[in-house]
Structure 1
């Protein structure tokens, strides 16, 4: 079998540009596949740093926006009081993204960096300096192709992900590395990938905990130009939590730290493109989770699906679904079982004006020990609708108008809340 090819390599680009575009697509495809497998494994994988898209050697983008949010507290008035936050606020942000690509005949080296500043008019506690860096390489070796990516990120945890009412802010710092090798001949291909990720949280005194995740995936697949690609996959991941667990020390019946959590899984992945309008991938896994607190051991399914449909030359729909497990940021839970669904529609009114609308649903379950911290979130369902208008101004600038509505219901009523957000922004490519 021939390794995945990029449609750009058959276009009218010069030979060197075709090689560059093909290597860029190769690196992105392999890392996206690895990320999907980690998600299918239940999300306990190490996390995949960003791989640049596009065929520019140097790409610089910037953005700035101003937003109004009716509730930035992540809960009702009681949570707002405990977190010492004012619900309504204006948020100002500015950021940039720089991508560098260095191609050769069979290799591609890249650097991708993002930085963003966020400032709140009334809640300076939530001010954030977020940034992410990733470096990597992609290379063809005979019938094989390989990628290696390392990443670092520093970001503020979104307020709706902070599951303890007494804390308003947590800074998560992550180091990660991922490697992937795919080899194929005729119609059979084999893919082996692995990753490691170390996550550190700043709010350890309020119930957060550090973790390290090691993951590995093996896939054997069959490629058919008519029927698509079918793969049999095996996955493994192991989470190790930090020992500095202050909340567990309050309960003598519990261990002093969260025991390691291991997950094994086998599954199938199917990918196919149907004509020029429909394409998608779907995966189903059977997972077994061991370790952690005693009553968190379980068997279950992991599912991912991604579907894109171009109804007309102006209209496109995308559907993404994920059911899996993630490492928990809290010191009293073994892992987080999550379900995410997102539907998005895009309509190009003209070459300069684009409308977008989306609907999403997220469910999270923090599985582990009994509730220890006061007002700790255990289960939640969030539903969101959003819409935006993108207006191109000239060749490089775009004005973005956005509105969204979020509703969350939780097992602890203080975490029930609604929020409306409107924003106006300007983005540019240089």
Structure 2
């Protein structure tokens, strides 16, 4: 209601001027500040870092050892206690650091003006707290929460502090991540491949581990032996179809060459009759024989296929004695199951994921559309490919799509910045307007 003056003249009395000052906090700010201070104190007290550590190392008695075995046993026990204490202190330090960041951000928010800065302050608080919008609970809290103490695998004296691997953008998709981690521990995992794919595309990669058993298909039978399995359609009983639009491989073989939902862009992924890389036309189509001839005989042994589809390239290379791992994502179709049933190895990673190989581990990497991403992501991916290739290793761009104006203005200079040397380079028009294809054979220099 309006406030009228006491003389009854009906004029509205203006509200008193609002006093501002960082010491005048809102109820929410005071509550949060008290929570932070209480949480910090509780961390220190509950961890028992002070008195417990002193008590832990206070010798109860003075002991004279009567043999080397007793001395070794006491030293081993003491070392184990020291390792556990180091891990405990490391965890305490991390939690106190987080509390300090929260407190600093809160004090800054108290002094800041209202209005447009409010949302930014809220995001800063979330970031300081680890980014989670709600307190973690259940399996998700166990999977991403505390550090774990392990014995140093290198044989050193210090214990190794191991933190769970989790995609940095998982905090932005907390709702989906909580659904992904909503399962019965020790039971069967839900059929949620589509949810996992959505999380990975949102940057939540790698996903947290789960304590549930992946379901097995009903009526599962042993696969065909090699080499027959390379060119035979796997039985339908090799897949759990609950999460996919198609319910058998016949459906997938028809849909992979059409615009059906879930497999669009997967041209011929499930069509085993399509023969490729057998003929080299001197232009965009390179043959496997011509690529292998660029290296001394037998020196191309292991490789990676990015964006291949159903593993046919890996099958062709296996026939020539080359082991190729296929990077594939099971979006709307069981692509990884199809590759595995053929007797080939696949890894479930997206274009933004760091390649799961050690430095200088591979002899050849082949990339097609979607396998490396685009823009700045493409440059990061090319440097990562350079990392995993050995000196003299080959990068094969196989009809790689690129806007025509960017072939010479962007792609070629980018490859040069990364450090690749051109062995072959061919370009040609694509199916769509202003689209261009690039086929290239590039070498990582020997020195």
Larger radius of gyration: 2
- TM-score tier, shorter chain, comes to under 0.3
More strand by share: 1
Per the normalisation by structure 2, the TM-score is 0.22
- Tell which has more relative contact order, 1 or 2 (C-alpha 8 A, sep 6+): 1
Question: Which structure: greater helix fraction?
Answer: 2
